[in-house]
Chains A and B, each alone.
Chain A
Amino acid sequence: MSDTLRTIGLKKRFGRTRVLDGLDMAVPEGAIYGLVGPNGAGKSTTIKILMNIYRASRGRAEVFGRDSRKISPRRDLTRIGYVSENQEFPEWMTVGYFMAYLKPFYPAWDDERAEELLRQFELPRDRKLMHLSHGMRMKAALASSLAYRPQLIVLDEPFTGLDSLVRDELIEGLLESAEGATIFISSHDLAEIESFASHVGYLDRGRLQFSEEMSSLIQRFREIEVTLEGPAPRANGWPATWLNVEQSPALVRFVDAQFDAEKSTADVRRVFGEGSAVAVRPMPLRQIFVTLARAGRKAA
Chain B
Amino acid sequence: MRQALHIFKKDVRHLWFEIAIVLVVTAAFAFVGARRAFWLDDPNANRNVAWTMAQILLPLAWWILIARVVYSETLPGDRQFWTTRPYRWMSLLGAKLLFIAIFVNLPWFIADVIILRAFGFAPESQLAGLFTAQLLISVAFLLPVAAVCAVTTGFVQLLSASFVLFVVVLAWNTVFPQLVLGATWGAFNWIAVYYSILVAGIGALVILTWQYAKRKTWLNRTVAAVAAIAAMVGAVLIPWTSAFAIQSRLSKQRIDVHSIQVSFDSDRKWLARVRPDRFGAGVGIELPMKIDGVPAGMEAKAEGLTMQVVGPDGNARPGAGRPWMQIDSDRQLSTLVSEVDGRFYQSVKNKVVKIRGTLYLTLFGNRRTTRIPFGGERIATRGLGICSAYRTGGHGPMGYVYLLQCTSPFRTPPDMIMVRFEERGKNVFRQIRPYPERRVISYSPLPADLDISPVSQYFTSLTPFPRELSDVAIDDLEPLAHVTREFELDGLRLGEFETKAVQ
Chain A positions within 8 Å of B, measured between CB atoms, are 48, 51, 53-54, 73-74, 77-78, 80, 82, 84, 86-90, 92, 101-102, 104-106, 141
Contacts of A51 in B (CB 8 A): 83-84
Is A105 a contact partner of B78 (Cβ separation < 8 A)?
A: no
Q: Contacts A77-B84, A77-B85; is A104 near B79 (CB within 8 Å)? A: no
Query: Is B80 in the interface zone, CB < 8 Å from A?
Result: yes
In contact, B84 and A80 (Cβ under 8 angstroms): yes
Is B86's CB under 8 angstroms from A78's CB?
yes
Contact call A74/B88, Cβ cutoff below 8 A = yes
* A92 pairs with B2, CB closer than 8 A: no
Q: With an 8 A cutoff between CB atoms, is B343 at the interface? A: no
Question: A84: nearest residue on chain B (CB-CB)?
Answer: B79
Cα(A74)–Cα(B86), bound, Å: 6
Of the four ranges (under 10, 10 to 19, 20 to 34, 35 or more), the interface on chain B belongs to 10 to 19
Contact residues in A for B86 (Cβ distance below 8 Å): 73-74, 77-78, 105-106
Q: A74-B86, A77-B85, A105-B6 are known contacts; what are 6 more A-B pairs with Cβ within 8 Å?
A: A73-B88, A78-B86, A87-B80, A88-B81, A92-B14, A106-B86
Give CA–CA (A48, B88) in the complex, Å.
18
Q: Which residues of A contact B72 (CB under 8 A)?
A: 90
Q: Which residues of B contact A89 (CB under 8 A)?
A: 81
Knowing A74-B86, A74-B88, A90-B72, the reply to whether A104 touches B3 (Cβ < 8 A) is yes
- Name the residue of chain A whose CB is nearest to the CB of B79: A88
Contact flag A101-B10 (CB < 8 Å), given A86-B79, A87-B79: yes
Q: Indicate which residue in A53, A73, A80, A104 contacts B6 across the interface (CB closer than 8 Å).
A: A104
Q: Which residues of B contact A74 (CB under 8 A)?
A: 86, 88
Which chain A residues lie closer than 8 Å to B3 at the CB level? 104-105
Q: A141–B84 Cα gap in the complex (Å)? A: 12
The answer, among B78, B85, B87, for a CB contact under 8 Å with A53, is B78
Give every chain A residue within 8 A of B10 (Cβ-Cβ): 101
For A101, the chain B residues whose CB sits under 8 A away are 6, 10
Chain B residues proximal to chain A, CB less than 8 Å: 2-3, 6, 10, 14, 72, 74, 77-81, 83-88
- For residue B2, which residues in chain A have a CB less than 8 angstroms away from its CB? 104
Shortest Cβ gap from A147 to chain B (Å): 12
Residue contact A88 to B80, C-beta cutoff 8 Å? yes
Would you list 12 pairs from A and B whose C-beta atoms are within 8 A, ordered by A residue? Answer: A48-B78, A51-B83, A53-B83, A77-B84, A80-B84, A87-B80, A88-B77, A88-B79, A101-B6, A101-B10, A105-B87, A106-B86
Q: Which A residues lie within 8 Å of B81 (CB)?
A: 87-90, 141
Pick from A48, A86, A102: contact of B85, CB below 8 A. A102
Residues of B near A90 (CB, < 8 A) are 14, 72, 81
**A297, B84: Cα distance in complex, Å:** 35
10 residue pairs, one from A and one from B, having the closest CB atoms: A82-B84, A73-B86, A77-B86, A88-B79, A105-B86, A53-B78, A78-B86, A73-B88, A89-B81, A104-B6
A53 touching B84, Cβ below 8 Å? yes
Residue of B nearest to A48 (CB): B78
Q: Across the interface, which residues of A come within 8 angstroms of B87, CB to CB? A: 73, 105
Using Cβ atoms and an 8 Å threshold, which residues of chain A touch B6? Answer: 101, 104-105
Q: Complex formed: what's the CA distance from A102 to B81 in Å? A: 11
> For the complex, what is the distance from the CA of A104 to the CA of B86, rounded to whole Å?
10
Question: Which of A54, A73, A102 is the most central at the interface, judged by chain B CB atoms within 10 Å of its CB?
Answer: A73
Interface contact B85-A105, CB-CB below 8 Å? yes
Q: Which residue of B lies closest to A92 (CB)?
A: B14
B90 to A: closest C-beta gap in Å: 10
Bound-state CA distance A285–B80 (Å) is 35
Shortest Cβ distance from B83 into A: residue: A53
Q: Output the nearest chain B residue to A78 by Cβ-Cβ distance.
A: B86
| Cα–Cα distance between A104 and B14 once the two chains are bound (Å) | 18
Distance of B226 from chain A, by nearest CB (Å): 22
Q: How far is the CB of A29 from chain B (nearest CB, A)?
A: 20
Measured in the bound complex, the distance between the Cα atoms of B277 and A248 in whole Å is 101
Q: Shortest Cβ distance from A69 into chain B, in angstroms?
A: 10
Complex formed: what's the CA distance from A138 to B87 in Å?
Answer: 21
The minimal Cβ–Cβ distance linking A41 to chain B, given in whole angstroms, is: 17
In the bound assembly, the distance between CA atoms of A103 and B77 in angstroms comes to 24
A77 contacts across to B, CB distance below 8 A: 84-86
Cα A51 to Cα B81 with chains together (Å): 12
Closest to A104 in B: B6
Q: CB-nearest residue of chain B relative to A100?
A: B10
- Distance in Å from the Cβ of A20 to the closest Cβ of chain B? 15
For the complex, what is the distance from the CA of A80 to the CA of B86, rounded to whole Å?
Answer: 9
Q: Given the complex, which residues of B lie within 8 Å of A78, measured CB to CB?
A: 86
Q: Nearest Cβ distance between residue A85 and chain B, in whole angstroms? A: 10
A77 to B82, CA, bound (A): 11
- Minimum distance in angstroms from A150 CB to a CB of chain B: 11
Complex contacts, A87 vs chain B, CB 8 Å:
79-81
Within the complex, what minimum Cβ distance (angstroms) separates B380 from chain A? 52
Nearest B-chain residue to A44, judged by Cβ = B78
Taken together as a complex, chains A and B put the C-alpha atoms of A174 and B239 apart, in Å, by 69
Residues on B with beta carbons closer than 8 Å to the beta carbon of A73: 85-88
Name the residue of chain B whose CB is nearest to the CB of A105: B86
Contacts of A104 in B (CB 8 A): 2-3, 6
